[in-house]
Amino acid sequence: MEVKQVILHKRSGEVKQHCKKDGVLTAEVASSRVSHLGRFGTGLQYFYHHLSLPNHNLRDVSVLCSYIHLQKLEVPHNKIKDLSCVSHMPYLAILDASHNEISDFFGFQPPKNLKEVNFSHNCMTKMKDLSAYTSLSKLDLDYNSFTEISGLERCCELTHLSLTHNKISKISGLDNLPLTDLCLGGNQMERIEGLENMKSLQVLDLSLNRITSLSGLQNLHLLGSINLEKNLISEIQECKHVHDLFLLRNLNLLGNPVQEQPDYRLSVIFLLQHLAVLDQEKVTAEEKVSSVNKYDPPLDVVAAKDHMTNLVYQLMQPQVLYDSTLPSADSPYPMLVLTGPQGCGKRELAHRLCQEFSEYFAYGTCHTTRGPYLGEVNGSDYHFVSEEDFQTIVHMGKFIQTMKYGGHSYGLTRDSIEDVAREGLACCVHMELEGVLSLKYSHFEPRYILLIPTQLEKYMGHLKSRGLYTPSQIDMAVSRIDLYANFNRQRPGFFDNVIPCDDWEEAYQMLGQVVKDYLLLDEQGEGQNNNRASPDNRSTVSGHGPEEKPPSDLSRSVSGTMSHSATPLDPSDPAYRNYSTKIQAQLSPQKSPAELASIRRREQLVREAIVGRSPGVYSQLFKSSAQTAPSSLQSHDPDTHFSEDSSSDGSRASSVLSVPSSAGALSVLGHTLETHKDHMTSDQTPDDASPGTDHLATVITPSSERRPGSNIKPILPPIPTGRKTPAALSPSPSPSPNPAVREQGEANKEG
Ligand SMILES: Nc1ncnc2c1ncn2[C@@H]1O[C@H](COP(=O)(O)OP(=O)(O)OP(=O)(O)O)[C@@H](O)[C@H]1O
């Protein structure tokens, strides 16, 4: 840009040469202060008339009438009362006449390009119509005595308006202005009103007023900064009015009574999670996390806290060895958890299951602080206790998980599980999702079956017909269906099975089939014994492992697959159930391909040793157990499912390795399938996969990958037979009730 020095044009006759008396600006002084160049930010200079006369004690600036080319006039901190000279400056764009004694609001003809005006610290009392000042974009009227905002309606370029420290009690006349910055601090406002249509507002200063509520800000979606320092806001809930302002980054509530509220800062940070600065202090990531964990903790956090609490209290107790937690080489303590939203039928199904499969399961009775419904039996449906007693049990470290639901506490004690374990049975319990999450942190490794309503109307109808719930309780129960469905969708394998429970009879049939699949009870046995399932109904699987067994339609519809994706328990890892081992496994870093290959080789060795194909390093281990006591195993532990023609090791291997599981193999509710096929190489067809170990070799997974919530988990162990039965209690091996097993047992004895 060409730089030019220009000579200021002055109308000669009107120029006063000298300052005649104090406070009168002379042409000489004025000329000496005029600069003709401006600068761009880039450093380039441009043609520009600028006069700056701050702090000159000036009263009379009428000499400036002849400075018609002025574009910027700065006369702050003087004693000017009259600025009519501005009428002669048609090119004026910026005027700073702050800290003067002007009482006449815009007492001059409008320069058509006037953009920025600063009249702060003057003596103005009344605003007048500024329709002619169409270019005005920034207006500073702080520290005057205005009582009302008016006359700005047609300033359609006005983006910055400051009227702090006036006497304004109401915001008005700013509708539809394109204001981005509005400062009204130090006035007399009690309410925020008249801002509804100022959609462009980004910065709002309402400090030093008497405002009690944030209502009136809710539609200002571009707001990024609100200063409400020193007002009368006393409720944290007021922040809800600005909750939906997603661009709000800076909020100042210093000097408001609300600051006295307990947990004020965390609560506000929780309510306004986009804030970056609160009360002039940066909001840290730690504060954001703490606030969420405090006021709306994710389910995982709740479960982790619950687990931690119970564990700590448990550790504080004298240590006791429990039947249910004694480590065993091949299996964790068997448990079945039915989960789903309230009133979905899981409790009834659990009771029925325990009745019908009484040789395998017993109901694990939870504690609750809610009162019994009509017909409920203390100690059977729940242990009904007071909140005080419940807390005492918490502090005794007896719970393995607890949860709050509908204002009541629920919890499952180790003793409840232990009562069942002593009977030699598996524990069957029902609980909500939070309970499942907490239980997954414990060293128990139950099967989790989700019972979920798919017909909303029917489910609601059922809840209503129970006559136990208020409408809001029903709403809550219904809303939790999505929670379960999303969990199932987002965490494949979290639940081992999903069963729609719109029709309880159908649901029970499915549940029964799933359980029979777990227990390896075949349909033949069921046919012989009608609905009564017992250890005698167990299948004979050797020679045609479960892979070959055509799955029933029911199990297919439930699991969505006929594959057996169960991961066999690694027999070489007897300490798997050990709690610290498990934690270590969870924390251990991802295995490298080489490590995985090595683990697979080791497992392959184990498998081969088990089926007797190679005398691997582990063969002795299993040989001894299988060879020394095959008949006793067959007669005492029918759930290991030895077959007629099983010749010790091989049959054990096939029974252990092939228990069907639908973990990670569900298609219900959008669940991704992990099918038999998934475990095959691309050129294999399902038929190609030979039953038994070859196929299983493809599904085996390193034990270190097992973890709570994983879709790969150890098989549900054989459920111990009811030690209650006289046969099981007899000291000498009694003949197995199953003829096939009996024969085999006798053959072995003879052998
Ligand atoms: N220990 C526990 N942990 C977590 N949830 C539990 C526990 N015990 C019970 N629940 C669940 O708490 C919810 C409320 O139970 P409650 O027995 O009071 O209600 P309900 O109306 O009888 O429902 P439901 O018929 O499903 O049991 C139920 O979903 C129940 O399964």
> Taking the complete model, does pTM exceed 0.80, yes or no?
no
Reported confidence tier of residue 608, pLDDT bands at 50, 70, 90: low
Question: Mind giving me the DSSP string for 567-624?
Answer: BPP-TT-GGGG-HHHHHHHHHSPPPPHHHHHHHHHHHHHHHHHHTTSS--TTHHHHHH
Average pLDDT, the chain: 75
Bridge-based pairing state of the strands 45-52 and 34-39: antiparallel
* Whether pLDDT at 716 is above 70: no
Best mutation site among 352, 378, 410 for ligand 1 pocket (most ligand atoms within 8 Å of CB)? 410
Q: Which atom of ligand 1 lies nearest, measured to the CA of 466?
A: 21
CA of 528 from ligand 1 middle (Å) equals 36
435 lines ligand 1 (CB under 6 A): yes
343 lines ligand 1 (CB under 6 A): yes
Q: Report pLDDT for 213.
A: 97
436 lines ligand 1 (CB under 6 A): no
Say which residue, 46 or 558, is predicted with more confidence.
Answer: 46
pLDDT in tens, 474-519: 999 999 999 999 999 999 999 999 999 999 999 999 999 999 988 8
CA of 721 from ligand 1 middle (Å) equals 28
111 lines ligand 1 (CB under 6 A): no
346 lines ligand 1 (CB under 6 A): yes
433 lines ligand 1 (CB under 6 A): no
Best mutation site among 377, 405, 437 for ligand 1 pocket (most ligand atoms within 8 Å of CB)? 405
Q: Report pLDDT for 433.
A: 97
* Whether pLDDT at 683 is above 80: no
* Whether pLDDT at 346 is above 90: yes
Reported confidence tier of residue 644, pLDDT bands at 50, 70, 90: very low
Say which residue, 482 or 691, is predicted with more confidence.
Answer: 482
8 Å CB contact between 687 and 552:
no
* Residue 148, SS3 per DSSP: coil
Q: Which atom of ligand 1 lies nearest, measured to the CA of 370?
A: 18
> For the chain, how many residues are written?
751
CA of 132 from ligand 1 middle (Å) equals 72
Going by alpha carbons, the residue nearest to atom 22 of ligand 1 is 343
110 lines ligand 1 (CB under 6 A): no
Distances (CA, A) of 477 to 321, 404, 456, 466, 483: 38, 14, 11, 13, 10
306 lines ligand 1 (CB under 6 A): no
d(CA 174, CA 170): 11
Strand order in the sheet with 335-339: 361-363, 426-431, 335-339, 447-452, 497-500
CA of 359 from ligand 1 middle (Å) equals 25
* Tokens found for residue 268: 């506000």
Q: Which atom of ligand 1 lies nearest, measured to the CA of 411?
A: 1
Q: Report pLDDT for 519.
A: 84
Q: Report pLDDT for 443.
A: 87
404 lines ligand 1 (CB under 6 A): no
Cα atoms in the Cβ-side hemisphere of radius 13 Å centred on 413: 21
Closest CA to 290 of 276, 272, 269: 269
411 lines ligand 1 (CB under 6 A): yes
Closest CA to 522 of 658, 668, 423: 658
* Residue 462, SS3 per DSSP: helix
CA of 341 from ligand 1 middle (Å) equals 8
Distances (CA, A) of 664 to 334, 492, 708: 19, 6, 13
* Tokens found for residue 201: 């507002």
384 lines ligand 1 (CB under 6 A): no
Sequence-ordered list of residues with C-beta below 8 angstroms from that of 32, at least 6 positions apart, any chain: none
d(CA 654, CA 132): 94
Q: Report pLDDT for 34.
A: 83
Q: Report pLDDT for 23.
A: 86
* Whether pLDDT at 684 is above 60: no
Going by alpha carbons, the residue nearest to atom 1 of ligand 1 is 411
Question: Mind giving me the DSSP string for 254-312?
Answer: TTSGGGGSTTHHHHHHHH-TT-SEETTEEPPHHHHHHHHHHHS--HHHHHHHHHHHHHH
Closest CA to 160 of 198, 107, 109: 198
Neighbours of 518 (CB within 10 A): 27
CA of 430 from ligand 1 middle (Å) equals 7
pLDDT in tens, 28-79: 888 888 887 666 666 666 667 889 999 999 999 999 999 998 999 999 999 9
CA of 406 from ligand 1 middle (Å) equals 10
* Whether pLDDT at 131 is above 70: yes
Q: Report pLDDT for 521.
A: 77
d(CA 580, CA 588): 12
412 lines ligand 1 (CB under 6 A): yes
Sequence-ordered list of residues with C-beta below 8 angstroms from that of 9, at least 6 positions apart, any chain: 68, 69
Closest CA to 182 of 136, 223, 132: 223
Q: Report pLDDT for 21.
A: 59
d(CA 213, CA 210): 9
Q: Report pLDDT for 324.
A: 85
pLDDT in tens, 510-522: 999 999 988 887 6
With a pLDDT cut of 70, the percent of the chain lying above it is 65
d(CA 161, CA 153): 12
In the chain, the domains with their CATH numbers are 1-122 (3.80.10), 125-296 (3.80.10.10), 299-537 (3.40.50.300), 574-750 (no CATH)
403 lines ligand 1 (CB under 6 A): yes
Average pLDDT over residues 132-140: 95
Bridge-based pairing state of the strands 497-500 and 447-452: parallel
CA of 335 from ligand 1 middle (Å) equals 17
pLDDT in tens, 350-365: 999 999 999 999 999 9
Going by alpha carbons, the residue nearest to atom 27 of ligand 1 is 347
Going by alpha carbons, the residue nearest to atom 31 of ligand 1 is 431
Say which residue, 100 or 549, is predicted with more confidence.
Answer: 100
Q: Which helix (H) or strand (E) holds 748?
A: helix 739-750
8 Å CB contact between 314 and 308:
no
pLDDT in tens, 145-164: 999 999 999 999 999 999 99
